[in-house]
Structure 1
Amino acid sequence: MAALAASLNSATAKQGFMLGWTFGSASFATGVSWVYVAMHDFGGTSVALAIPMTALFCIGLGLVPALFAYIYCRWVRDGIAGKTLGFAAMWVLAEWLRGWIFTGFPWLYLGYGHLHTAMAGWSPVIGVYGLSFWVALSGAAIAFSITAPAQLKRHGYASIAACLALFALGFSLQNNEWTTADAKPPLRIGAVQSNISQEKKWAYTQYWATLEQYDLASEELWPDSDLVIWPEAAIPTLYHNALSYFEYIAERAEANNSALITGVPTRTKEDMHNSVMVISGGEGIYHKQRLVPFGEYVPLAHYLRGLIAFFDLPMSSFNRGDPDQGHLQVKGWQLAPSICYEIAYPDLVAQSARHSDLLFTISNDAWFGHSIGPDQHMQMAQMRALENGRELIRVTSTGITAIVDHHGNIRTRIPSFTAGNLKGVVHARSGTTPYTRYGSTPIIVLCFGLVISARFLRRSNPA
């Protein structure tokens, strides 16, 4: 980040655009290389097509940092404040823009790199965008202290000192308990990780074997679990097509005084949803709101369907769920649900976390294969637990299936790419962190204010 800031400090706006584009494209090419795995290994796309399509995806995403760099060089960079605070503010606004434009791609935020450093103490206060601001500001301060004229270097040193002070304060904040343990008794959890490969998941010949696998795996969990959880789209058909099976499973759960939650596709009137629902032991259904382009819906489907196999993946015609859905209720607990990709959206999870006892997410990470994708996905889930001061359950078909404490640390997990069951205990938390209460609004408003101030600030101290 310091190298990028130093390069932009001496670049024209057009040069800045190209520098930002190159930097962004290279970052995504290394950080989201799993897109190739999803397209080629599981999407039926040939190597000859998957490579250029992945490259186009990364180059397209790189346009967001390119826009950041152009605006920074053209209108924000003047003066000491512009080259430090303005740089950091513009970077965060670029991350924020990428998190919602065209349904958003909230991946590779700078702040995730500090999940396990002292800066993690700030997460319940300022969230991942706030951590990204600190990283960008630190890089800009280092760049300014190197490139500024001798008489102004002291300002760069002062900025570095301020960043170090914030880092040190993070140690103290790590000891602060923003939420408190609830009086509810602990909930005994059992989770099924089926490890059914993506190639077999939607094959009709594997349908009955899949039902039997979840049935047998759950038999080991019913006696010792208050709640058993199956992953996203565990049963590869619409809910009403497997109603008799779910009635049987509900009877097995109720016979052991246990509850069951599973991911399953559902249909309501003309709409089809990627859903998670309580089968027994409570009530509630949640329809996924943030859909994955091409994976769960196809933009411009009228023109793209049929061109290549990747545009005709199974279950790629889902509709978005309503934004005001409630929690899942199980044995008196309020569970804040999110499905797969949604755990990457900080404000979506924060909104759901309010008045909840526990965060809960299911996923099908088989699409990632043996790539860095599952670890990145898990890291984001851990950040959501830390931001909101809530324990979190994550259940996936191939891993990473785990229980995370309210400090964002993995308490227990089972190995990826193995079929097995996870057993553990979770505890309800009450109260809210500042981030849960206000979300990303304060840091985004601050960044807009800093950019505007840097733009119109008198150039009395040019650098």
Structure 2
Amino acid sequence: MINTSLFTQQWFRILLALVTGACGTIAFSPYNFWPSAIISLGGLLLVTLNRNVLQASCLGFFWGFSLFGTGINWIYVSIAQFSGLPDIFNVILVIILITYLALYPMLFSILLIVLWPRVNFCRLVLGAPVLLLVTEFLRSRILTGFPWLEFGYSQIDGPLKGIAPLLGVQAITFILMVISGLSVYAIEKRRLLPAVAVLTILVLLYPLYSLHWYEPQPERAIDVTLVQGNIAQSIKWEAKQVISTLDIYLQHTLKAIGKSKIVIWPESAIPENEMLQNDFLTKLDKQLKKGNTRLVTGIIDARPTINGYHYYNSIIVLGESIPYRYPSKNRYNKHHLVPFGEIIPCSSLFRLLSSLFNFPIFSLSQGDYLQPQLRVANMNLTATICYEIILGSQVRDNFHSNTDFLLTILNDAWFGHSIGPWQHFQMARMRSLELGRPLLHSSNNGITAVIDATGMPQAQLPQFKCDVLNIRVIPTKGMTPYARVGSWPLWIFTILVGVSALVFDHFKQIKFLI
């Protein structure tokens, strides 16, 4: 049993919590050291051994603050460059966000001590995975949700990736905590068997990766062109830049007409509302149709209503057999809007701040949660825009058995030369693996790529370069177990494990007292 004089001191445990929390960031892209996830989660369990509720809550908070402080500090880049706020406010906003996110590991630590006060197998190997899944679920839902840095994503290139098509990324997170709990149990009890169990789990689960739940359709392979415009965010929405921006995308697209069946432009590639660009879109639609090429592009839709305009972050399709006419039905409107980026919560308060600091207030409208697939060149595309690709349940709920490709268009220019776009790309890869479909991943400044049905990049463009990706993509068919039933089996299993761990631990305590 761990009981050294140094380890019993709270300050040392806080230091260890900070180190292992930061270690978690290394598990994710672009570092991709997947064992670091086990080290980090094991660190959280280790520092809370033999602590009371107050001490454990403090340690859980510092671990979370370190994880999110090192893992999502890239948010400062977008806030500092584009908010127009004084630097001190930018720093405060980032600290507030990191502090909020750290509350979830803190809650995890509190519940772990309260429900399983004794250090035993029930607490470390059964209770901890259940509580991690519950607190991560809450983090992905409360205040519109922020499921960034969920540890299951770190295994997209690890031995546990084969679990994703079966039960989804959350199941990988669950098993990672089981492995971490067994590791800490082996250290705490000085037993070899739990350590052997860790290796056994990794060895037994690794072959699942070789199971393919989909069937390629090479006879339906299609030529696709993805255009990466690399438009600087600082000038993207300037009115005088609209013509030059459209010219960049148009020149690259004209070369593909008649050669590629589908051309894809990224999120809001046309930096003006759809109605104002109606003439341009109509002419381009006719030109595309002559070459039997379709264009999928991001655009802002300013939809007139009796209460003024509703603005949508949209995807539209040009070049199909039915001539383009606003508002065409073959479109997708973004559902999950990013707080402060696309929608302003507590708008009255922020209108006051806007008047004080002279920064603009603008909110988009939500599209429906469930929307029809895009129909492009006789292919069915399940579409998402930017942040939505990390919302596994939303993507799955819009997925159909006849889906040929997944599509996401995005603009990560907000995050500069940070690790943010790489983490985003890593999570997008997980959607392909879960659902067994290739993903067309179109970005303004990178990472533009095509991801195959195993979650592996088939081809990609370098970041921060105006370039074109021409590739032949093979659609797939078939339904993975996760695509069929979602996360319900995992949650039923989680509830059963949690209840069993509580009952068994309570029974052992009674037996001990007798």
Provide the TM-score with structure 2 as the length reference: 0.85
**Partner deviation per Cα, 1:200-237 (whole Å, 9 max, x = no partner):** 00011111111222211211221321000110011111
1:129-168 paired onto structure 2 within 5 Å: 129-148=170-189, 153=191, 157-158=193-194, 160-168=195-203
Q: Does 1:432 align with 2:479?
A: yes
What amino acid is aligned across from residue 182 of structure 1 in structure 2?
Q
Asked if the contact 1:404/1:410 (under 8 Å) is kept, the reply is yes
SS at match of 2:442: strand
Aligned to 1:127: 168
Moved more, 172-181 or 39-48: 39-48
Q: Which residues of structure 2 form unaligned runs of 5+?
A: 1-40, 322-328
Secondary structure (helix, strand or coil) at the match of 2:464 reads coil
What does residue 502 of structure 2 align with?
455
Residue 303 in structure 1 maps to residue 349 in structure 2: yes
Q: 1:291 maps to what in 2? A: 337
Comparing 168-177 with 89-98, greater Cα deviation is found at 168-177
- Cross-structure match for 1:116: 157
Partner of 2:428: 381
Contact 2:218 2:474 in 1 (8 A): no
CA distance in 2: counterparts of 1:456 and 1:388, whole angstroms: 36
State the Cα distance separating 1:182 from its structure 2 match: 2.9
User: What residue number does 2:418 align with?
Assistant: 371
CA contact (8 A) 1:35 1:54 kept: yes
RMSD value, Cα: 2.0
Q: How far is 1:312 from its partner?
A: 8.0
- The answer as to whether partners of 2:354 and 2:361 remain within 8 angstroms in 1 is no
Q: CA deviation at 1:447?
A: 2.2
Structure having greater relative contact order (Cα 8 Å, sep ≥ 6): 1
Q: Deviations over 1:291-313 (max 9, x none)?
A: 10000001011211251599987
Contact 2:292-2:319 within 8 A present in 1 as well: no
Partner of 1:421: 468
Structure 1 residue 266 corresponds to structure 2 residue 313: no
After alignment, is 268-277 or 129-138 more displaced?
268-277
Report the counterpart of residue 354 of structure 1 in structure 2: 400
Q: Which amino acid aligns with 1:440?
A: S
Of 122, 129, 133, the match for 1:81: 122
Which amino acid counterpart does residue 231 of structure 2 have in structure 1? Answer: I
User: The residue matched to 1:406 in structure 2 has which SS?
Assistant: coil
**Counterpart residue identity of residue 31, structure 1:** G
Once residues 354 and 180 of structure 2 are traced to their aligned partners in structure 1, the CA distance between those partners, rounded to angstroms, is: 43
Q: Secondary structure at the match of 2:363?
A: coil
Partner amino acid for 1:307?
L
What is the match of residue 266 of structure 2?
A: 231
2:266 alignment partner, SS class = coil
Separation of aligned partners in 1, 2:505 and 2:349: 52
SS of the residue corresponding to residue 465 of structure 2 reads coil
- Correspondence 1:306-345 to 2 at 5 A: 306-308=352-354, 316-345=362-391
Deviating runs (4+, > 3 A) in structure 1? 76-79, 160-163, 308-316, 458-463
Structure 1 258/448 Cα, relative in aligned 2: closer, same or farther at 3 Å? same
What is residue 98 of structure 2 aligned with on the other side?
58
Q: CA deviation at 1:445?
A: 3.0
Specify the code of the residue in structure 2 equivalent to 1:166.
Answer: I
SS in structure 1 at match of 2:384? strand
2:290 aligned partner:
255
- AA aligned to 1:95 is E
Task: Report the CA distance between 1:315 and its aligned residue.
Answer: 8.3
Aligned equivalents of 1:354, 1:251: Cα separation in 2: 30
Bigger drift between 200-209 and 80-89 goes to: 80-89
Worse-superposed segment, 247-256 or 393-402 = 247-256
In structure 2, relative to structure 1, the CA distance for the partners of 1:411 and 1:458 (3 Å cut) is: closer
Q: Which of 169, 176, 189 matches 2:211? A: 176
- What CA distance in whole angstroms lies between the structure 1 residues aligned with 2:502 and 2:356? 45
Q: Is the 8 A contact 1:31 1:108 kept in 2?
A: yes
Offset from partner CA, 1:61-100 (integer Å, 9 cap, x none): 1111111111111113544222211111111211111111
- 2:28 aligns with none
Aligned amino acid, residue 123 of structure 2: G
**Post-superposition CA distance 1:144-166 (Å, at most 9, x none):** 12223x6xx46xx34x4344333
Amino acid at match of 2:341: G
In 2, the alpha carbon distance for the partners of 1:3 and 1:65 equals: 12
Query: Structure 1 residues 171, 296: closer, same or farther in 2, change over 3 A?
Result: same
Q: How many equivalent pairs are there? A: 457
Query: In 2, Cα distance between the equivalents of 1:8 and 1:438?
Result: 36
* 2-structure distance, mates of 1:161, 1:284: 54
Q: State how far apart, in whole Å, the 1-side matches of 2:246 and 2:200 are.
A: 55
TM-score scaled to structure 1, two decimals? 0.94
Q: Which has the larger radius of gyration?
A: 2
SS at match of 1:277: strand
State the alpha-carbon separation in 1 of the partners of residues 203 and 459 from structure 2.
Answer: 29
Q: Between 33-42 and 164-173, report the one with greater CA deviation.
A: 164-173
Q: Displacement, 1:186?
A: 0.7
For the 8 Å contact 2:56–2:109, the answer to whether it is kept is yes
Contact in 2 for aligned 1:134/1:163 (Cα 8 Å)? no
Aligned to 1:8: 48
* Aligned position for 1:276: 315
Q: Is the 8 A contact 1:232 1:396 kept in 2?
A: yes
Instruction: Indicate conservation of the 8 Å contact 1:45/1:308, yes or no.
Output: no
Give me the whole-angstrom Cα distance separating, in 2, the residues matched to 1:238 and 1:28: 36
What residue number does 2:17 align with?
none
How far apart are the structure 2 equivalents of 1:234 and 1:49?
Answer: 30
Match for residue 86 of structure 2 among 21, 40, 46:
46
